[in-house]
Each structure stands twice: as C-alpha cells, then as structure tokens.
Structure 1
Amino acid sequence: MSDLMYAAAPSEMITLDKLEALTMARLDLLLHVNEYNSDQLEEMDSIYGFYGLRLIIAAIERWETMNSGIAEWWIDQEIIVFQHRLYTRIFTSTETLTTRLLFVKSLLMDFGVEYELKNDVYLVPFQHVPMLVRQREVVLYHGMCHIPPLSSAMITLLMFHYRRQLERQFQTQISAVEFLELSRFNSLQKQVLVMYKESFSQLNNQQPLKRRTTAKELDEVQMPLCMKSLYDHLKRDKHLKYDGRNQLRLFLKGLGFTFDENYAFWKTTFCAITPAIVFEKKYAYNIRHNYGLVGSRKDYAPMNCSAIQNRSAPRPGQYHGCPYKHWEHQQLIVQLQKHVGVDLATAIANTAKESLYGVACGMHLEAVMKGSQTKKMCLVNKVTISHPNFWFDYANQVHNDEAI
C-alpha cells in the first residue's frame, strides 16, 4: 500500500515523550498545513505523529461530552496533506512516467476501485466518482467514467476514496478506545484539545451580536452562500419548497427571530401570491412546530453544515442544501463571483470540488473578512466552517465592531 496512506501502524518501540512530541508536531502541521509547500510537508511527515494524533482525537470524540468538531476538522486537514503529496507525486515528481503510472495504479488497487484500462485511460464505474459525475467534470459512457491516470480528475477520485478510508478507520479507532488503557495519555489529550481550541478560540467563543437581527436588516447583513441563495430565491419567487423553508426558517431562528417574527416574515413574503387562509392552512403549522409550540413540542435548533449536506440533494425547483456540495462547479463559480473576484471564486470552487466543503465555505468567509479591512481577518484563514449561523455571527460581528 502507498506510503501516502499510512497503511499500518509502526511496530518499532518509541518513548512516550517522543510520541507526545510527534503527535503535537502533527497537530501543529495540520493547523498550518496551507503555509507549507509539498517538500516541507514531506520533511515534516511522521507516521508516529499521524497514528498518535488519530488515537488522541478518537479518545476526545469518545469521552468528551461536548462535540468539539475536532474529528471532522482532522479528516479535512489530513485530506489536504494527502492532496499536496499526491499532486507532487503525480505532476511534479522527478520519477519516470512509468513509475508515476504504476503509483496511480497501486493506489486504485489499494482503495479497491474497480476499473478497466483502455487506450491509457481508466474506465471507472460512476459510483466511484459521484462528485465528478454530479459536477459534469468527467466523460460518462455506459455507466463508466473515463479518467486519464495523470489528471486532476484522478486526484479527485483518489481523495474521495481516501476520505472514505479515513472515516472508516477513525470509526474503528473510536470503538477500540473503550478497550484501551489510555491514562498515560491524559496529559497529551488535554494538550491537543487546548491547542486545537485556542487556535480557534476567537472564532469558537463568539460574543452575541450587539443587536439582534430582524427581517428589515436581512438585505444589509452578510450571509453564508447557502442561506443567501435561499433568501434571494424566496424574495424572487415569494415561495420555497419544504426543505428550503425548513433550512432557512431555522437559520432565522438562530439569528434571534422569535416565533412571532418568523411567522410574520413568512406570511408577509408568501402572501404576495398566496392567500392568507392558504398560508395558515399549509405553512403556519411548521413554523409553530419548529418553535416547539405544537406536535412533539421539541424546540428545534438551526441546522449545522453536516445536517444540511447529508439531506437529500435539491431537485429542480428546490434550493436547499450546501452550495459547495450540491451545486455544479461552474454554477458555484458564477454565484461566488457576485461576492468575490473571479480568481478567488474559482479557487473556492476548486476546493469544494475536492469535497472540502467546510474549507471552501471558510475561504468565502475569509474573503468577506478581508473586504472588511479588519485586523481580525487573519483569524479565519483556512477555517473549516461547520455551521451557517457561526459563519453569519462572525462575519457580522466584525462588521458591527467596525461600525462602532
């Protein structure tokens, strides 16, 4: 198996102090991965650091009562490391063409990808490259995708399968943690969690906005792309289908909308083309339900990014979901250009294309921050966004700070 994927844990003896040092070095590398070039990543690589950090993060996920988001972040950052190293091996390596082709073939075999090699092109079943099919970035014929071995499409394919492998192995690690004696690692576990939290402390510990957002202010505030799209289509069509209504309605609840405000917002918008009696009959119940006033009486929280991304993809006439996951590549670029320059829009879309949805969303937030000319903009560099309301709160908190 390729040395890029840390096939098996090392068996050589190592002192606890050395393991702790390598684990913390790996964490520091992941926190600043985009600051290094591929050669530096190779020099700093350590299989002990990889396995040590995976074990500690699994222990944190298994025993911490509050979800820190560190596991999702870890997988995203390891994918970035893999992407950098993979790009070097395929495109910039001094190895012979034959060696690079054999390297790609070995990775496909390691991941268990079914394929046929025809005319120097890999024919891969479409289910192995859903993101390429969805974004129409690959030739598809008779259920087989045609992927050149040394191409960006091949990198996307390999990254998709590496992510799945990391997720499976991490779940196995979490299950194993319960049966391991890890008391010697208590100090290391605390160090990892503190370092991770401190790196994003100013992002993850927001103070509430100095003013609560109201319906009249929605046209003036910054919104994450998923909610901005829903809001714009609602204003244009005076209607959204169920999934879109639910996603936006809970987002507004997270902005501080009371039940009365949320009800008035939807009624005012819908009743431009929908009779009031129809609105009350077809749509009002769900608003009450979200606030725990009817039905199960559960007080629903705004959806996080994971919940939005894992729901069914939008069909024609629907606008819910995550733009970075569900939109076609060119559509994403066109929409992002309305908010950022074409070069940055393309860079963000390319990041999303690699299934790094939270990172892409963080790049959009970073662009908003840079536009605000604030000294705080550096704090959001390469952040992985995990919640639309978090994106909103931070972008508009900074905006409010500067207006004071």
Structure 2
Amino acid sequence: MEIIRSQRKIAAEPDVTPTLSLYRSAPSLEVRLEDFELFALDRLRVLKGISDGLSRGKKPDEMEKLVSELWRTHMRHQNASEVINKDIISHFVLRLVYCRTEDLRKWFLSIETILFRHRFRLESFDAQRMLMGEFNLPYKALSNAEFENVKDKLNQVARSINQPLPTAGAIFFKVPFEEVPDLVAGRRVFMLKGYAYVAMNQVVSLVVTQFRSHLSKALVLTNRKWTSTIREQERDRLTPIVEALSTMYLGPDYSQPKEFAEISIKDIDIVANSSFPLCMRHLFEKLREEHHLKHGGRMQLGLFLKGVGLKLDDALAFWKAEFSQKVGSERFDKEYAYAIRHNYGKEGKRTDYTPYSCQKIITSTPAVGDHHGCPYRHFGEQNLRAALGKMGVGGRAMDDILEKVQNRHYQLACTLTFEAVHASSCDTGINHPNQYFSESQKIFQSKNPPTT
C-alpha cells in the first residue's frame, strides 16, 4: 500500500520525501480490523506519554527527548514501507475516537499539535519547504530590497534571542502577526504594522498554526459524520472499538496479582491503611462504615481486591461479614454472592474480570449515594483536603495536588499523593489503582524485609 502525496507548490530536490503527513484527507486504503485497533493503540501510547510528560512539568529539551523516544518505540512497523501508512491510519482512527466530545477534541488537538511540531522540526530544510507547499500559504519571501530596509531590525531581534545574524541569502516571510502567536509572545520576531517577519528556521510556528486550525475544523466535521451516519452504520463492527479506545488502559494487566501473591482478611485493614490509593481507601472506609456499597462501588473495590490478591473464599467471607450487618446472611447469599463469584470467573461466562484502571474510574459518573469514581475528580475541595489529610498529606504537597486537580490532571494528583505519602518518587506516574498498591508494597517491603 502506498500513500500518494499531493503535488507540492514549492520546489525542492526531486528525491526529497517528507516522513511527516499533514493529514489533509483520509487515505483510500483497506485496513484490517486488527490493524485499525493496534495502530491506534500504538499512537495513543505516544500521545498519552506526551500528555504525562507535560503534566509532570518536563522541560522543553526533556520533552523533545521524550517525544522522540515514544515515537521510536511505538510507531515502528515490521515492514519499513508501511511506517508512513501506520502513521496516517492511526491518526485518522484516533481522530474518529476523539471527535466525539469537546473535552476529547481539545485533548487530541493539543497533543497532536505538539507531536506535529516536534516531527516537523526533524524534517530537512527541503522537506519543510515541501510541507509548506501543501498548505498553499499565501506568503512570499522578502525581496532583497525589503530585506535591506529591515535588516537592522532583524539583526536586533537575532541578537536578543542569541541567533546568528541573517545574511543576504536569508529567507524571511512577512505574515500577519496573529498567525505566529508563540513567536510574538516570545518576542522572537520583528513586528511592523501588524506583520511579523518570520525567518525560514522559524517557519515551524507558521505551519503549526495552519495544522492546528485545519485539525480543529476537521474534528468538528468528523463529529458530525460520526453522529449522523458512522456510529449507526458501524454499530456492530467499528463503533465498539472507537467508543472503548478513549478510555482504554494501556499498562500492565492486573487481573491477577504478580509481585504479592495474596492478602488475607486479617491483613486487609493494615494494607488498606498503608497501600490503598485514595479511591479504594474511600470505598473501603464507606463499606466499613455503612456495611453496604452500591453496584458501582462493589465492582470497583471488589475487582481491586481481587487484583491485589484476595482469594475468592476470603472475598466471599469479607463481603458477607460486612453486608450481613445490613441485609442479613440469607439475603447476601441470595443477592450478592453470585456477583462476587462472577467477578472471579466462577459463574456466567467464566470471564476473568480485570480491575478498573484510573481512566475507567475517572470517567465514571457516580450518582447521589454512590461512593465509586475518582475522588480527585468527584470530591469537592473541602472533602478532598480532609481525605488527603487523613493520609498524612499536608503543606506544599497538598497545594501541589490541589493545583493539579484544578487543572484536571487527576492521575498526576494521585501520583503526587503517592510521592507525599511514601516520601519516594514515582517517575512512571500512577495509571492504575493496583499499580499504586504494588509500588507501595515494594517500598514498604524494601524498608521492612521479611525475617527468616
């Protein structure tokens, strides 16, 4: 399969072929359903890695290194000739996935633009000129006379940003200032009568602005097509994949405990206090307090406990001991025991159900009286402060966590909580409650190794 690129408007070397697509239109390709999902997942790993890096406040040079590493790791293909196709297909699949709500569109637009900027910078000079040609940008390079008229001003700007002074052969474009907002904000261009004078080595800003504008409009149009026709037409084939991808967990499988083989009922209060993340601590405390949880809470806590090693017999005994105080033993056996066995794959379809990821928990919508969901998202500030205080979080750490919550970086808020509670860094970030538990237990066991 080959992607046929449109004709370029700016001349370049005939053998120059950019590795970067502008994603102007979807390719006419037949894509296997397996590749449709796998390609999208690989690109999603790149985008989420970029998002996590930004949330953790990585510096520009660190982000450049991170993006290159993510792309190299996840966007390879066993057939080198298919790498470009994988890039284009995965972009359009995720465009379909992330067009469906305003929040999804905003996230996808932001991260894809960052990825595009990074990749454009890596292209050769001639390849960059070819990519510019695809946008049909109505800007001409300054003539020699125009260049001489503003040369002194261009030199002043170059000195102020520690760039080499432009030579007579330098290429500059005169563009409306609003089309290069980042260059204007950083005072990296000469401004005159509403125009910015953009050097060829700064043209990435101009191209990125065009790319972002095009993608923003395309996401809105894709959403209209999705809601009007595609969702219904593909309800038995693509729709389930598309709707699941935006909340899909991409990390390790926690359906079975790995490092820590099992926990028993006698240990559960101790490990809950030391190693449960806030979402599970809250559910555990409410279960002990009210001797009951609604379905969402039972699923979220029950599968978590299964993942950290609570065996089926102990799980039945644990839930029965609590629920019997509210509903009685007979009603528990009749109405609740089946669901617990079902979660362990012992009833119904015998499916071995997986503990919920952070993404699934964050996107849940608990109703009044429910206790499941993500406290960082669903708690008010006063309740969140109180809950974090009970975990021993305070001072600057509390302020940093609340700042992340205000910016809707809920998983990073949980990561900062982990670091505050354990006085230890967590560079990978928290993406799963069972990961929180596992990392916590590693720390406690390293500090208190078992005696023999």
- Which range, TM-score by smaller chain? 0.5 to 0.7
User: What CA distance in whole angstroms lies between the structure 1 residues aligned with 2:368 and 2:52?
Assistant: 39
| 1:215 maps onto 2:265 in alignment | yes
User: What CA distance in whole angstroms lies between the structure 1 residues aligned with 2:363 and 2:287?
Assistant: 22
> Could you say what secondary structure the match of 1:251 adopts?
helix
Q: CA deviation at 1:328?
A: 2.3
Q: Deviations over 1:165-204 (max 9, x none)?
A: 7xx99xxxxxxxxxxxxxxxxxxxxxxxxxxx9xx99xx9
Whether the 8 Å contact between 2:257 and 2:308 is mirrored in structure 1 is no
| 1:56 maps onto 2:75 in alignment | yes
User: What CA distance in whole angstroms lies between the structure 2 residues aligned with 1:216 and 1:273?
Assistant: 21
Q: 1:55 to 1:401 in 2, by over 3 A?
A: closer
Q: Deviations over 1:348-396 (max 9, x none)?
A: 12212222122111111111231xxxxxx23x14x33221101101111
Report the equivalent of 2:355: 302
Q: 1:52 to 1:324 in 2, by over 3 A?
A: same
Q: 2:430 aligns with which of 370, 385, 390?
A: 385
Task: Give the AA of the match of 1:395.
Answer: S
Whether the 8 Å contact between 2:304 and 2:434 is mirrored in structure 1 is yes
| 1:288 maps onto 2:341 in alignment | yes
User: What CA distance in whole angstroms lies between the structure 2 residues aligned with 1:369 and 1:277?
Assistant: 42
Largest Rg, 1 or 2: 2
Q: 1:44 to 1:275 in 2, by over 3 A?
A: closer
> Could you say what secondary structure the match of 2:269 adopts?
coil
Q: Deviations over 1:278-333 (max 9, x none)?
A: 1111211111111122222212111112222233x222211001112222233222
Q: CA deviation at 1:273?
A: 2.7
> Could you say what secondary structure the match of 1:337 adopts?
helix
Q: 1:29 to 1:233 in 2, by over 3 A?
A: closer
Q: 2:383 aligns with which of 331, 340, 349?
A: 331
User: What CA distance in whole angstroms lies between the structure 2 residues aligned with 1:296 and 1:28?
Assistant: 35
Q: 1:333 to 1:295 in 2, by over 3 A?
A: same
Whether the 8 Å contact between 1:30 and 1:77 is mirrored in structure 2 is no
Q: 1:337 to 1:343 in 2, by over 3 A?
A: farther
Whether the 8 Å contact between 1:368 and 1:395 is mirrored in structure 2 is no
Matches within 5 A, 1:181-330: 208-210=258-260, 212-221=262-271, 222-311=275-364, 313-330=365-382
Q: 1:75 to 1:362 in 2, by over 3 A?
A: farther
Q: 1:364 to 1:256 in 2, by over 3 A?
A: same
Q: CA deviation at 1:11?
A: 10
Matches within 5 A, 1:2-401: 34=56, 56=75, 59=86, 78=111, 208-210=258-260, 212-221=262-271, 222-311=275-364, 313-339=365-391, 340-370=393-423, 377-378=424-425, 380-381=426-427, 383-401=428-446
User: What CA distance in whole angstroms lies between the structure 1 residues aligned with 2:49 and 2:331?
Assistant: 57
> Could you say what secondary structure the match of 2:390 adopts?
coil
Q: CA deviation at 1:274?
A: 2.3
Give ranges in structure 1 of 5+ residues lacking alignment: 1-9, 20-25, 64-70, 83-87, 100-106, 113-161, 170-196, 371-376
Q: 1:28 to 1:293 in 2, by over 3 A?
A: closer
Q: 1:239 to 1:77 in 2, by over 3 A?
A: farther
Q: Could you tell me the TM-score, scaled by structure 2's length?
A: 0.47
User: What CA distance in whole angstroms lies between the structure 2 residues aligned with 1:44 and 1:237?
Assistant: 47
User: What CA distance in whole angstroms lies between the structure 2 residues aligned with 1:249 and 1:11?
Assistant: 60
Whether the 8 Å contact between 1:291 and 1:299 is mirrored in structure 2 is yes
Considering only aligned residues, what root-mean-square deviation do their CA atoms show, in Å? 5.3
Q: CA deviation at 1:342?
A: 3.8
Percent of pairs identical after alignment?
A: 29
Q: CA deviation at 1:403?
A: 0.4
Runs of 4+ that moved beyond 4 A: 10-19, 26-37, 43-46, 48-55, 57-63, 74-79, 92-95
Q: 1:332 to 1:93 in 2, by over 3 A?
A: farther
Whether the 8 Å contact between 1:290 and 1:299 is mirrored in structure 2 is yes
Whether the 8 Å contact between 1:226 and 1:321 is mirrored in structure 2 is yes
Whether the 8 Å contact between 2:262 and 2:311 is mirrored in structure 1 is no
Whether the 8 Å contact between 1:291 and 1:300 is mirrored in structure 2 is yes
User: What CA distance in whole angstroms lies between the structure 2 residues aligned with 1:306 and 1:244?
Assistant: 16
